[in-house]
A and B are shown apart, each in its own frame.
Chain A
C-alpha cells in the first residue's frame, strides 16, 4: 500500500465526514440524523462532522425511498464525492422503500441507485442505531486495512 493510501485511510477512520442527502424521506429519519449530532448523542466525539458539500464528504447518508425526481440528483452527488466513499441507507425506506414500496413516484431502496455499505433499519432509525451503523462501517474499513 502506498503511503498516500495509508494516510487517506487513517484520516477517514479518525474523522469520517458525512453528507446528509434527503431523497424524499418523511423527515423522520432526517431529524434523527440531526439528533445524533446534538448533545444527547453527540456523534462528533467520533470525529464525524456534517459537511455541506459532497466534495468534502467521505460518507453519504441517504434517507428516504429515492423519488424518481431525485434519482439523477443522487447519482450526481455520489459522483462528486472523492474516493474512497461509502453510502449509508437510513431507515426502512432507505433499505427497501418501506411503507412507500409500490408507490408510483419512488424507486424503492437506495441500493437500486447506488452501492450501499450499511443498511440501518427502523422507522425512523433511532440515533443509537445510526451511531452503531457508523461504528460498524469504521470497523469494516479497519478490517480491510
Chain B
C-alpha cells in the first residue's frame, strides 16, 4: 500500500492548542510521526530579561494558564535562593496548598479532555462541572479563577482565614466522593476500557530512554516524582503515596491521574489542618545578588525546571524554562507509531500537552539567516566545543 503523509494541526478540532504533527500513514495505520513546534512561540525568556523580578512574576505566571502556580513557584524559589531570603513556614504551606489545588484542577481538566477525545462527552461535562468546585476554592482564596498570583517575592500575597478553610474542606469532601465514582468508572466501564487499554504503549525502558516525566512516566512504572525524590516546600512533612501503574498505556495514565487526585485531597486536608502560624511574607531587596540557581518542581504534567542567572541588578540576566511537555513530546512520536489514526487525538491528549509552556525556543542562525534543526550528535559536538572554549573539557571526565 502506498504511504501518505497528512498534517494534523496547527488548527485542528482535536487540539486545543497550536502544534503540528506530520503523520505518515499506511492505510489507517501510522508508520511514522514527527512533531513540529513553535506556533506558540512568544519570546518570553527574552521579555523576562527586560522586566524587574516583580514584573517577571506576572509574566512567568502566563507561561501557562493551567500550571501557572508551578512556574511562578519554581521561579520564585530561585529568586529567594539567590537573595538568601528566609521564606516563612506559613507561606510555604500556602504555596503547597495552591500547588495541590492546581493539580486537582489540572487533572480534572485532563480527565474531561480525555473523555472528550474518546467520544465520551458525558464524562467531559461531569468532570468540568466538578472542576468548578476547585475553581471556586481558588477564587475564594486568591481572588482569581485561573491566574491566582498568590506568590510574591518573599512569601504569599494573602492569608487563609478560618471560613475559607472550612469552605475549601467542604468542597474537597464533595470532590472526593465524585473522584471515587470516576475511579470506578475508569476501571469498570467497558467502552472506556476498550478505548484506552493497549493504546499508545510506552514501555518502561523506552520511557526512561526518552526522558518521560510526570504521570506519563509513572504510568510506565517509573517511580519518578520530584515531590518524593527531592522534597521542596513542605512536601517532606506530608504523608502521601507515589502512584505508579505498569500497564504503560493510556489506561495507566488515566488511573495514575485519578489516584493522584485522591492523594492531593489527602494532602490538602493535611495542610489546612496543620497550617503553621506566623507571618506570610518577608521583605526581599529589589536588587538580587549575582549568582545562578536551578530548581525543579513537580507540575501537574511532570518535572518543570527553571534556571535563573542574576547580575546584581533588579532584572534577571537570563531565565530558562524547561516545561514538562517538552520532555514528554519525544515519547508521543513513539506512542503514535504503529497505532491507528483514530487513536491519535487520545494519545496526544494522554500526555496532557501544554504547548504554551513548551514553545519558547527556536534555533536561529543569524549568519545564514535561516532556521536550522540540529541533530543530537551536532548538538553534543557544539556543547563540548562551547565548554572547551571556556576551559572545561567534558571529554576528559
- List residues of chain A with CB under 8 Å of any chain B CB: 20-32, 34-35, 38-40, 52-53, 65, 67-70, 73, 77, 98-100, 102-106, 123-124, 126
Interface-located stretch among B60-68, B159-167, B182-190, B192-200: B60-68
State in angstroms the CA–CA spacing of A126 and B135 once bound together.
12
Residues in chain B near residue A20, CB distance under 8 A: 16
B11 touches A67 (CB 8 A): no
With known contacts A24-B40, A69-B39, A104-B46, A30–B16 Cβ distance under 8 A: yes
Contact A38 B146 (CB under 8 A): no
Identify A40's interface contact among B38, B58, B109, B132, CB under 8 A. Answer: B132
Q: Which residues of B contact A21 (CB under 8 A)?
A: 11
Within the complex, the shortest CB–CB distance from B238 to chain A, in Å, comes to 27
Query: CA–CA, A68 to B40, complex, Å?
Result: 9
Verify A31–B129 contact, CB threshold 8 A: no
| Other A-B pairs beyond A24-B42, A73-B10, 17, CB < 8 Å | A22-B17, A22-B18, A24-B39, A25-B65, A27-B64, A27-B65, A27-B356, A28-B146, A29-B65, A32-B146, A34-B16, A69-B40, A70-B39, A73-B39, A100-B42, A104-B43, A105-B41
- Asked if A103 and B17 make an inter-chain contact with CB atoms under 8 angstroms apart, the answer reads no
CB-based contact B354/A27 at 8 Å: yes
Number of A-B contacts (CB under 8 A): 111
7 cross-chain CB contacts under 8 A? A22-B17, A24-B18, A24-B359, A26-B64, A27-B64, A32-B146, A65-B42
- Minimum Cβ distance to chain B for residue A126 (Å): 7
Residues of B in contact with A (beta carbons under 8 Å apart): 10-11, 13, 16-18, 38-44, 46-47, 50, 58-59, 62-66, 68, 109, 112, 124-125, 128-129, 132, 145-147, 354, 356, 359
Complex: A26 Cα to B58 Cα, angstroms: 12
Whether B128 and A39, one on each chain, are in contact in the complex, defined by CB atoms closer than 8 angstroms, is yes
Chain B residue with Cβ nearest A80: B11
User: Given the complex of chains A and B, what is the CA–CA distance between A4 and B270 in angstroms?
Assistant: 64
CA distance A27 to B58 in the complex (A): 15
Q: A30 — which chain B residues lie within 8 A by C-beta?
A: 16-17, 65
Q: Which residues of A contact B125 (CB under 8 A)?
A: 38-39
Complexed CA–CA distance, A28 and B357 (Å)? 12
For A28, A35, A40, A102, which residue has the most chain B Cβ atoms within 10 angstroms?
A28
Which chain A residues border B41 with CB–CB below 8 Å? 24, 67-69, 105
- B145 CB contact (under 8 Å) in A32, A34, A39: A32
Docked pose: A126 CA to B354 CA in angstroms: 21
